[in-house]
Amino acid sequence: MPRQQRLGMPHSRRLTPCDRVRRERMPRTLTSPPELISVTAPCGDSHGGSPHPPRGIAADSRASCASGAAATESRRARFNGSDVVSAYGPTVASFLKHLRTVSGLTLVSRLAGLARDAVLAHVLGAAGFMDCYSMAFRMPNLLRQLLGEGALTAAFIPVFTDYLEKGGPKAANRFMSLVIVALVASLAALTLTVDGALLVLRYLTEAGTKWHLIFGLAAVLFPFGIMVCLVALLQAALNCREHFAMPALAPVVLNLCIIAGAAMAGWRLASDPFLEVYFIAGAILVAGVIEIVIQVPAMRRAGLLFHAAWDLHDAGLRRVVALMAPVVVAVGVVQINVFTDSLIANLLSPNVLVAGGAPQVFQVGPWQVPYPMKIGAASVLYYGPLIYQFPLGVFGIALATVVFPVLSRYAVRKDLPGMARTASHALRLAIFIGVPAGVGIILVCGPLVRLVFDHGRFHEAPDAVARTAWVASLFSLGIWSYSINHILNRTFYAMQEVATPRRVAVAAAGLNLACNLVLVWPMAEGGLALATVISALFQTVVLAWLLNRRCARPAPGPHFGLEWRSIAASALRTLAASAAMGLATWAAVGWLAPMLPIAGRSLYSAQLFGGVAVGAAVFVLAARLLRMTELRDLVGRAADIGS
């Protein structure tokens, strides 16, 4: 093999003396991003010992010796600065490119989800039947969030990446097949057990009550957990092969099926609300089957082939199972908190389906205690989070999704400084989007709720708009924290270190429960929302501190742990830009729009879209004036810069 090829350089270029000097001086351990190492280090050290070095910035060496050395020093110097894309090379540029792809497709999914919930609000309203639907649907959804998009994928991606890096596609496909078979078999057994228990509980409750309907709907919907967890596993495998489009489109199918089912139910079954809600549940099961089917062509194109296999003693499978158990608690703390909120909302509100004549107290021993919440509390806690989950899903979770494989590759190569730089970059992006998103939602929440939800049966509840906007505003205070927690958790999981986030999650869940029980009495459902924010902030602070210690070098250096200076500087600039945005949005929503000669939905539309447009324009202008590189990372040609 020619010497130039072994160095990862073009055949047409002769090796210069400067190249040899830089090669000899480069350390043999991987302490810089793989793409920079590929210029100067031996190919075996550049990417974890693989015989084929990745394409990096070797072409820069075509310059003269002096200019080449200066360029190398410049790239190293930029590691401590904010020019992240240029310094990190194509790995980070690649995840930014995929971030825009996933975020764009997730935006389509979230818009479909908003349309879905607008239809549900029209058909089911914000009272007893919607309380039952939201609680029943959270059961399989919790399974999806804990396993499908939580513990299973967090444990599967690092191990699957290891198989791809070291064993090749054949070994990776066998491992994937083993996990699929084990997942479906175990979830089928769980579903039979849970459905049996739910049917028994339904039999024991009084017909016509809220809990009677909840248990019946949950028994119908729980099999959806098998389908959605399988889809999440297939999506994780596709993401590891850098296929993001089809996985991001899968939720659109679910939303469209629910829209079709709810519209059909409202059209043909409006006289029987019980049949309406069961018909919608059936549409969700159909959506689960379709979600699985549409992943198959993408898997074939990615070279992911399934062959039924069963081996419970397989080392990779046992490794995934060992990693999953503690991750269930750690990665699902937010979802567990949301499920607990819904459970408390149903337990501490009247057990009826309609508001008329509902009891206002419940019995605790010899005492009668007033309910802290009214009928519709669970509905409000369903509609409210949908608003803050819009930017969280479009950006926060999308960012964590695309950066996870990058972090896993750094972990496989034992490059903790590279992992810390990538995580720091992702944290800055999460703050850059999360803070202004939270401020903006608080300011436009009222007209948004009126425009999207306030029609049909939702309009029949006179205080539904105010309650939903109040809950959504409180949840929105923590958007940046929720996004950061996804990134921090995945950074630990990339290192296959699950004990630390598990312990933090247990403490955060305990704090959330305590705050729930205290704040629900003075603040009703708003107290449940605020408790979730408090627990998320606690988790952010503790996880960031622990990750910084984990990624730090034994001796001080320019990359000692997370890049706190750049994160703090970015956060301060983001706060300044968000303050300017908030003032402009407040003026547009509360002052300019009401001056227009319009009313009703026209006014709400002007407040919403005008406020969003003015706020976005002011924030982008402020970010440009403050020279925030995060703006360029998100909307610029980062992929071209790094390629």
pLDDT (tens digit per residue) in 345-395: 999 999 888 877 667 888 888 888 999 999 999 999 999 988 888 888 777
pTM of the model: 0.76
Mapped onto helix, strand or coil, the DSSP state of residue 115 is helix
CA atoms of 132 and 255, how far apart (whole Å): 19
Among 57, 78, 99, where does a domain finish? Answer: 78
Among 78, 113, 138, where does a domain finish? Answer: 78
What was the pLDDT predicted at 525? 95
Helices (H), 79-167: 84-88, 90-124, 128-143, 152-166
User: φ and ψ at 33, to 5 degrees?
Assistant: -55, 140
Same domain, 261 and 187: yes
CA atoms of 72 and 181, how far apart (whole Å): 49
Is the confidence at residue 94, as pLDDT, over 60? no
Same domain, 33 and 100: no
CA atoms of 491 and 158, how far apart (whole Å): 11
User: Who has greater pLDDT, 11 or 469?
Assistant: 469
CA atoms of 383 and 380, how far apart (whole Å): 5
Helix axis angle, 128-143 relative to 273-301, nearest 10°?
30
Mapped onto helix, strand or coil, the DSSP state of residue 72 is helix
Same domain, 503 and 624: yes
Structurally, the chain folds into a number of domains equal to: 2
Q: Which residue has the tokens 């079709």?
A: 260
Is the confidence at residue 475, as pLDDT, over 50? yes
Same domain, 170 and 209: yes
Q: How confident is the model at residue 8 (pLDDT cuts 50, 70, 90)?
A: very low
Helices (H), 398-498: 398-412, 416-452, 464-476, 479-494
The domain of 40 spans: 3-78
Q: How confident is the model at residue 12 (pLDDT cuts 50, 70, 90)?
A: very low
Q: Which of 113, 110, 117 is nearest to 455 (CA)?
A: 117
Report yes or no: 635 and 82 within 8 Å, Cβ to Cβ: no
The C-alpha R_g of the chain, in whole angstroms, comes to: 26
Report yes or no: 124 and 130 within 8 Å, Cβ to Cβ: yes
Same domain, 581 and 616: yes
Q: Which residue has the tokens 């339904």?
A: 202
pLDDT tens digits, one per residue of 567-616 = 999 999 999 999 999 999 999 999 999 999 999 999 999 999 999 999 99
Same domain, 206 and 303: yes
pLDDT over 70 percentage in the chain = 78
Same domain, 377 and 253: yes
CA atoms of 323 and 300, how far apart (whole Å): 28
Mapped onto helix, strand or coil, the DSSP state of residue 524 is coil
Same domain, 136 and 33: no
| CA separation, residue 77 to residues 25, 38, 298 (Å) | 17, 17, 41
pLDDT tens digits, one per residue of 188-239 = 999 999 999 999 999 999 998 999 999 999 999 999 999 999 998 898 888 7
Q: Which of 483, 537, 548 is nearest to 507 (CA)?
A: 537
CA atoms of 538 and 513, how far apart (whole Å): 13
Among 31, 56, 78, where does a domain finish? Answer: 78
Same domain, 177 and 203: yes
CA atoms of 522 and 25, how far apart (whole Å): 66
User: φ and ψ at 579, to 5 degrees?
Assistant: -65, -45
Same domain, 61 and 178: no
Same domain, 503 and 576: yes
Enter the DSSP assignment of 12.
T
| Helix, strand counts (H, E) of the chain | 27, 2
CA angle, residues 424, 428, 433, in degrees to nearest 5: 150
Is the confidence at residue 25, as pLDDT, over 90? no
Same domain, 68 and 133: no
Q: How confident is the model at residue 299 (pLDDT cuts 50, 70, 90)?
A: confident
| CA separation, residue 383 to residues 35, 52, 318, 353, 379 (Å) | 45, 51, 39, 18, 6
